Structure 1
Amino acid sequence: MKTDFSKVYINGEWRDGSSDQMMGNTNPFTGEDLIATKAANKDDLDAAYKAAAEAQIEWAKELPQNKRAILEKTVEVMQENKQLIIDWLVKEAGSTVIKATVEFGAALDVVKQSTAYPFQMEGKILPSQQAGKENRIYRNPIGVIGVISPWNFPFHLAMRSIAPALATGNGVVVKPATDTPITGGLIFASIFEAAGLPKGLLNVVVGRGSEIGDDIVTHPVPRMISFTGSTEVGMHIGELAGGRLKKTALELGGNNVFVVLDDADIDQAVDSALFGKFYHQGQICMAINRIFVHKDKYDEFAELFIQRAGKLKYGNPAEQDTNVGPLINRKQVDRILEDLEESVKQGAEIRLGGNADGNVLEPTVVTNVTNEMPLAVNEIFGPVAILIPFEDDDDAAEMANALPYGLSGAVHSSNLEHGAAFAHRIHTGMIHVNDQPVNDESHVPFGGEKNSGLGRFNGEWILEEFTTLKWISLQHQRGDYGPFINQLKE
C-alpha cells in the first residue's frame, strides 16, 4: 500500500495537481507540517470525472462476485494497515488513539456490510393493466457519485459513501476537506489500489474550495453528490445540485439534545453525557449540544457531571489515555470561545474549564444557560457542555424542537416506555433511550430531519440513495390500441 500522499490520484495514476497552489497539511496538536500536495484544479477535476464515467460503464456490468471480491480484499488491506491508518488519524485529524481506533472499526464495518450490496441489486416483476404485458423493474447504479468528505471523522464518513457507491456499481470522485486530505481522501486511493480496484473507478482530487468546490457539484458527469459537513455548506451544495437536477445525500449539522427526565438514573445519565459530549472533543455531528435536566435533578446531575468531567485527561492525542485532544484548527477554538464569552455576558456561569492552550480547549461545563444563548442556539462542535433546566416533559420537548435541526439525540428515564414516548416527540432522524447520541451502525439507517440533512446512509437504505430504478415493459402479445388505431383500418 502506497504511503506517499503528496500527489492526487486520477485514472489510476498518482500525479501532481495542475493548480498553482499548494495544499498544506498541519498536525493540529503540534503545529508540525505533515505533507504538502500540489492542488488539483478544474482541469484535474474534469479528468477525474471523465475517468470515473468511462470506467463505470464496464464496472456496472461486472459480475457481483467480482465486485464483492474487491471489497473483501479491501477489508484485508485495511486490517494489514490498521496502525498506519490510526497514526494518520491521530496526527492529521487530531483524533485521540481511542477515537481513531473506533473510527477505523466503524469504517471496516462499512466495507464488510458493502460486500453484500452487489447481490442486493434486486428488481421486480409487476403485473400490468394491459393484456399480455409484463412490467420489469431494474435497480441500476446511478453512474458517477461525487463524495465531499468532512474533517472530523474523515476516514469513516468518507468510506461510508465510497464503499457502498462502488459496491452498487458506481464510479467515484472524492474531494476531501482541506484539513484532512489524506484520511478523508488520498488514503482511500492507496487502499483500493492495493485491493485491485479497476483503474479510473476511484479518483481523489485535493483542492481548495475556492478553486474546485462548486465545480465538483456542477460538473455535468456526476448524477449524485454525497456530502457530510456543515448545514450552511450543505444548503449551498443542495442549491447547486437541485438547479441541475442531481440527487444529494446530505448529512449536516446537529444541535442535538440530551434529556434527563425526572425519573432518570443520574449516575447512568452522567456517564452517557460525558461520552456523548466530550468524545473526539465534541467535534461530531451527533455530539450533544444541549443537556436538558429536569429542575428537580439539575443540581445533582450538575455536581456529578462537573466532578467527573474534571477528571478527563486532555492534551496530546497520541497518548493512549487522552480523552480530549485538540480541535482541528484555531478558528474553531476562537469561534467557541466567542460564543462562550457572549453566553457568560448573558448570565451563564462557567463551572469548569473555559481556557485554551493552542488548539486544545479544556473540557468546559457551563450552567445557568438558557435555550436562547449562543452556546445553545449554535452548534458548539467542541468540548463545552451546557446544562439547561426544564419544568416538565412538555417544556423539554418544546425547547428541543425549537431549533431547526434534527440529527440525533438521547433521553434518559428509568421507565423505558416513558423514555420512548418522549423520544417520539422529538423531531429528529435518530434518538436513543438511556444512551448517548453518538451512535452509528452500518446496518441501521443514519440521517437527519429539517436542517440536519436529506437521505439515509447505511444498510439497505443506502441502496435507495446510490441506485436508480428503470422500468422496462414487455408486450408478449399484440397490443390493442382501441379506437385510435381501429378507425385507421376501416
Structure 2
Amino acid sequence: MNTDFTKLYINGEWKNGSSDNRQQNVNPYTGEELFTIQTASKEDLDEAYTAAAAAQNVWADELPQKKQEVIENAIALIKENEDFITEWLVKESGSTRTKAELEIMASINILKEAASFPFRMEGKILPSQNAGKENRVYRNPLGVIGVISPWNFPFHLAMRTIGPALAAGNAVVVKPATDTPVTGGLIFASIFEAAGLPKGLLNIVVGRGSEIGDDMVTHPVPRLISFTGSTEVGRHIGELAGKGLKKAALELGGNNVFIVLDDAHIDQAVDSAIFGKFYHQGQICMAINRIFVHDSIHDDFIEKFIEKVKKLKYGNPAEAQTHVGPLINGKQVDRILSDVEESVGQGAEILLGGEAEGNVLQPTVMISVTNEMPIAVNEIFGPVAAIIPFAADEEVIDMANELPYGLSGAVHSSSIERGTNLARRIHTGMVHVNDQPVNDEAHVPFGGEKNSGLGRFNGQWVLDEFTTLKWIGVQHSPRNYGPFINELS
C-alpha cells in the first residue's frame, strides 16, 4: 500500500495538484503539521471525472465475481493494516483508539455487505397488458458518483458510499473534508489500488470547498452526489444537484433526543446516555443533543450521571485509556463555548466541566436547560450534555418534534411497548428503545427526516440509491394496434 499521502490520486496515478493553493494537515490535539499538500484545481477535478466516466463504462460490464474479488481484497487489506489506519485516525481526526477501532470495524461491515451487491443487481420480468409482450426491468449502475466526505467519522462515512458504489458497478470521485484528507480520502486510493481496482474507477481530489466544492456537484459527469455534513451545506448541495437533475444522498445534521420515561431503568439509561453523548467527543451526527428526563426521576438520574461522567478521562487520544479527545479544531471549541455561555445567561447551570484545554473540551453537564436555549436548539457536536426535565409523555413528544431535525434518537422505558409506541411518534429516521442513538448497521436503512437529510444508506436501500432501473418491453408477436392502423389497410 502507498503511504505517501502528499499527492492526489487521479486515473490510477499519484500526482501533484495543479492549484496554486497548498493545504496543511494538522493534528488537532498536538497542533503538529502532518504534511502539506498541493490542492486540486478545477482542471484536476475535470480530469478525475472524465477518467471515472471512461473507466465506469468498462467496469459496469465486468463479471460480478471480479467486482466481488476487489471488495474482498479491500477487506483483507484493511484488516492487515488496521494499526496503520488507527494511527492515522488518531493523529488526523482526533479519534480515541477505541473509536478508531469501532470505526474500522463498521467500515469492514459495510464492505462485507457491499461484496454481495454484484450478485444482487437483479431485475424482473413483468406481465404486459398487451398480447405477446413481456416487460423486462433491468437494474443498472448510475454511472459516476461524487462523494464529499466529512471529518468526524471520515473512514467509515466515506467507505459507506465508496464500497457500495464500486460494488454496484459505479465509479467514484471523492473530495475529503479539509481536516481529514487522508482518512476521508487518500487512504482509500491506497487500499483499492492494492486491492486490484482498475485505474480511473476511484479518484481522490483534495481541495477546499471554496475552490472546487460547487464544481464537484455541478460537473456534468456525476449522476449522484453523496454528502455527509451540516444541514446548511447539504441544502446548498441539494439545490445545486437539483438544478442539474442529479440525485443526492444527504446525511445532515441532527438534534437527537434521549428520552428517559418515569418507568425507565435509571442505571441502564445513564450508561446509554454517557456513551451516546461522549463517544468521539459527541462529534457524531447521531450523538445525543437533548436529554429529556421525567420529573419524578430527574434528580436520581443527574446524580448517577454526574458520578460516571466525572470518571471519563479526557485529553490525549493516543492514550488507550482516554474517553474524550480533542475537537477537530479551535473554531468548534469556540462555537460550543459560546452556546454554553449564552445558555447560562438564560438560566442554565453548569454542574460539571465547561472549560477547554486547547482543543479538548472538558466533559460538561448542564441542567435547568429549556428547549429554547442555544445549547438545546443548536446541534452541539461536542461533549456537552444538556438535561431537560418533562412532566408527561405528550409534553416530551412535542418538545422532541419541535425542532426541524429528524435523524436519530432513543427512548428508555421498562415497558417495551410504551417505549416503542412513543418512539414511533418521534419524527426521525431512526429511534432506539432502551439504547442510545449512535447506531449504524450495514444491513439496516440509515438516514434522516426533515432537515436531517435525504435518502438511505446501507443494505438494499443504498443499492437502490446507487442504481437505476430500465424498462425494456419485448413484443414477441405482431401487435394489433386496433383501428389506428386497421383504417390504413
Same fold? TM cut 0.5: yes
- How far residue 18 of structure 1 moved from its aligned partner, in angstroms, is 0.5
Q: Which residue of 2 aligns with 1:32?
A: 32
Matching of residue 193 in structure 1 with residue 164 in structure 2: no
Q: Which residue of 2 aligns with 1:62?
A: 62
Distance 1:90 1:420 in 2: 37
Q: Which residue of 1 aligns with 2:174?
A: 174
SS in 2 for 1:34: strand
Distance 2:242 2:348 in 1: 41
Aligned identity (percent) is: 73
SS in 1 for 2:326: coil
- How far residue 488 of structure 1 moved from its aligned partner, in angstroms, is 1.3
Alignment of 1:355-434 (within 5 A): 355-434=355-434
- One-letter amino acid matched to 1:175: K
SS in 1 for 2:33: coil
Distance 1:75 1:247 in 2: 28
- One-letter amino acid matched to 1:158: A
SS in 2 for 1:214: helix
Matching of residue 475 in structure 1 with residue 475 in structure 2: yes
Matching of residue 153 in structure 1 with residue 172 in structure 2: no
Q: Residues 196-221 of structure 1: CA distance to partner in whole angstroms, max 9, x if unpaired? A: 00000000000111110000000000
- One-letter amino acid matched to 2:182: I
SS in 2 for 1:468: strand
Q: Which residue of 2 aligns with 1:114?
A: 114
- One-letter amino acid matched to 1:348: A
- How far residue 352 of structure 1 moved from its aligned partner, in angstroms, is 0.1
- One-letter amino acid matched to 1:186: L
Distance 1:184 1:315 in 2: 23
- One-letter amino acid matched to 2:371: N
SS in 2 for 1:36: strand
- Between 1:134-143 and 1:479-488, the stretch displaced more is 479-488
SS in 1 for 2:95: coil
- How far residue 409 of structure 1 moved from its aligned partner, in angstroms, is 0.3
Distance 1:156 1:36 in 2: 24
Distance 1:457 1:210 in 2: 27
- How far residue 62 of structure 1 moved from its aligned partner, in angstroms, is 0.3
- One-letter amino acid matched to 2:121: M
User: Pairwise CA RMSD of aligned residues?
Assistant: 0.5
Q: Residues 384-432 of structure 1: CA distance to partner in whole angstroms, max 9, x if unpaired? A: 0000000110000000000000000000001111110110110000000
- One-letter amino acid matched to 2:145: I
Q: Residues 102-153 of structure 1: CA distance to partner in whole angstroms, max 9, x if unpaired? A: 0010001111111100000010000001111110000000000001100000
- One-letter amino acid matched to 1:44: D
- One-letter amino acid matched to 2:258: F
Matching of residue 13 in structure 1 with residue 13 in structure 2: yes
5+ long unaligned stretches in structure 2: none
Q: Which residue of 2 aligns with 1:348?
A: 348
Distance 1:414 1:65 in 2: 48
Matching of residue 227 in structure 1 with residue 227 in structure 2: yes
SS in 1 for 2:257: strand
Distance 2:425 2:474 in 1: 47
TM-score (norm 1): 0.99
- How far residue 458 of structure 1 moved from its aligned partner, in angstroms, is 0.4
Q: Which residue of 2 aligns with 1:264?
A: 264
5+ long unaligned stretches in structure 1: none
Q: Residues 289-338 of structure 1: CA distance to partner in whole angstroms, max 9, x if unpaired? A: 00000011111101111111011000000000100000000000000000
Alignment of 1:67-78 (within 5 A): 67-78=67-78
Matching of residue 255 in structure 1 with residue 220 in structure 2: no
Q: Residues 433-466 of structure 1: CA distance to partner in whole angstroms, max 9, x if unpaired? A: 0000000000111000000001110011111100
Matching of residue 137 in structure 1 with residue 137 in structure 2: yes
Q: Residues 226-265 of structure 1: CA distance to partner in whole angstroms, max 9, x if unpaired? A: 0010100000000000011000110000000000001000
- One-letter amino acid matched to 1:305: F
SS in 2 for 1:138: strand
- How far residue 480 of structure 1 moved from its aligned partner, in angstroms, is 1.2
Distance 1:82 1:52 in 2: 28
Q: Residues 141-187 of structure 1: CA distance to partner in whole angstroms, max 9, x if unpaired? A: 00000011000000000000000000000000000000000000000
Distance 1:35 1:184 in 2: 15
Distance 1:483 1:38 in 2: 69
Distance 2:65 2:132 in 1: 35
Distance 1:210 1:460 in 2: 34
Distance 2:432 2:480 in 1: 56
Distance 1:425 1:222 in 2: 37
Q: Which residue of 1 aligns with 2:454?
A: 454
Q: Which residue of 2 aligns with 1:325?
A: 325
Q: Which residue of 2 aligns with 1:43?
A: 43
- How far residue 81 of structure 1 moved from its aligned partner, in angstroms, is 0.7
Distance 1:13 1:37 in 2: 16
TM-score (norm 2): 1.00
- Between 1:246-255 and 1:480-489, the stretch displaced more is 480-489
- One-letter amino acid matched to 2:72: E
Distance 2:101 2:224 in 1: 30
- How far residue 482 of structure 1 moved from its aligned partner, in angstroms, is 1.3
Q: Which residue of 1 aligns with 2:314?
A: 314
Distance 1:36 1:197 in 2: 27
Distance 2:231 2:13 in 1: 34
Q: Which residue of 2 aligns with 1:216?
A: 216
- How far residue 481 of structure 1 moved from its aligned partner, in angstroms, is 1.2
- One-letter amino acid matched to 1:486: N
- One-letter amino acid matched to 1:200: G
- One-letter amino acid matched to 1:282: G
Distance 2:464 2:74 in 1: 23
- How far residue 484 of structure 1 moved from its aligned partner, in angstroms, is 1.3
- How far residue 23 of structure 1 moved from its aligned partner, in angstroms, is 1.1
Q: Which residue of 1 aligns with 2:288?
A: 288
- How far residue 479 of structure 1 moved from its aligned partner, in angstroms, is 1.3
Distance 2:312 2:473 in 1: 63
Distance 1:403 1:287 in 2: 16
- One-letter amino acid matched to 1:300: D
Q: Which residue of 2 aligns with 1:276?
A: 276
SS in 2 for 1:285: coil
Distance 1:188 1:168 in 2: 17
SS in 2 for 1:463: helix
Distance 1:35 1:295 in 2: 52
SS in 1 for 2:370: coil
SS in 2 for 1:290: strand
- How far residue 483 of structure 1 moved from its aligned partner, in angstroms, is 1.3
SS in 2 for 1:199: coil
